Amino acid sequence: MTFKLSRPRLEQILQAMQNITLGVLGDFTLDGYWYADMEQSQLSRETATFPRPIVRETYSLGGAANAAWNLSALGVGGVIGFSVIGDDWRGKILCDLLADASIQTGGILSQADRQTPFYGKVILTATGRHAQEDARLDFINQQPLSAQTEQALLGVLETSLVELDGLMIADYQPVGVITDRVRRGLLELAGDHKKPFVVDSRERAGDFCQLILKPNDTEAARLFFPQRKIAAVTLADLSTAALQQNRQSGQPVIITLGERGCLVAVDGECAHLPGVKVPPPVDSVGAGDAFLAAFTSALASGAHPFEAACLANLAAAVTITKIGVTGTASPAEIISMFEGSSSF
């Protein structure tokens, strides 16, 4: 089937977002960009290697924190973060950036033996040459949350749910805040509160089948066709699987397809909503977060899942035009993208 979103309806949904409050539960990450001027690099006598002379550093919100930042940029009335970070310098910068983005941090807990997830991106520069990204430096956790922290996280989430119109669950880290216990608690809370719980899980989407799922095509292929090679799974296969999952759970299923748009299965019907064509150059980093944020906020504002997915396609298209940064999409940018697109 085909579905079209009109300009007045788009504006109506964007306006309604200003009156809702959403929560974001997941792995809040700090992204760091360290710029090295390689023209200043001199061979080290001690190590016989060339060092990276850092001349500039910037920091931004990543992971679930970037998804929350996208909500704020969309104009969502209230955004509350729920996560567990470390008592370290990275956590301090992360919380400052969250505050700057008007994201409430009352649900951001800390655990003494935990480190704040951090992706350090070393950018090599030189006059007259294109910048090149060196090997990334990742600070990740190897052990799960303590039982006390799990209980505290579920407690603050349960207390806050009464004021939330929906919850985004961004499960991005192999050893993150969505432990088995936290997941079981989430499923119980979702059963008690009739509001959208939208899940983006890179490795464990199958553990959230009672909720609204938003995998990408690769994740969906692994989830629904674990015995097949990903390249052998067709769009028709994914559509059939999404429809079957929708019928079993009664919840919408959204499969993002990159530049091809997305599949949306709801009420026993599956639609392929085309993506927004954007000329190169493009940078897809953060597009999934933008889609997740726009879809969840539109859904929580009363939009039909087809409408929410169309809006989310527009938001993702805006972010991929922002090169070298994990960007966001504002209402004005989304409307501008709508006006310049032939997909609508």
Assigned domain for 136 exists:
no
Nearest CA among 318, 312, 319, 320 for reference residue 281: 320
- What is the structure's pLDDT at 192? 79
**pLDDT one-digit tens code per residue, 180-196:** 999 999 999 998 778 99
Number of structural domains found in the chain? 1
Assigned domain for 2 exists:
no
The fraction of the chain above a pLDDT of 90, given in percent, is 90
Assigned domain for 50 exists:
no
**pLDDT one-digit tens code per residue, 62-105:** 999 999 999 999 999 999 999 999 999 999 999 999 999 999 99
Q: What is the DSSP string of 266-315?
A: ETTEEEEEPPPP-PSP---TTHHHHHHHHHHHHHHTT--HHHHHHHHHHH
Assigned domain for 147 exists:
yes
Assigned domain for 288 exists:
yes
DSSP classification of residue 10: H
Assigned domain for 107 exists:
yes
**pLDDT one-digit tens code per residue, 305-321:** 999 999 999 999 999 99
pLDDT confidence of 61, banded at 50, 70, 90?
very high
Residue range(s) defining the domain that contains residue 97? 7-30+61-117+141-339
Question: Could you tell me whether strands 54-63 and 78-85 are parallel, antiparallel, or unpaired per DSSP bridges?
Answer: unpaired
CATH number at residue 236: 3.40.1190.20
pTM (2 d.p.) = 0.94
Assigned domain for 100 exists:
yes
**pLDDT one-digit tens code per residue, 20-55:** 999 999 999 999 999 999 999 999 999 999 999 999
Assigned domain for 315 exists:
yes
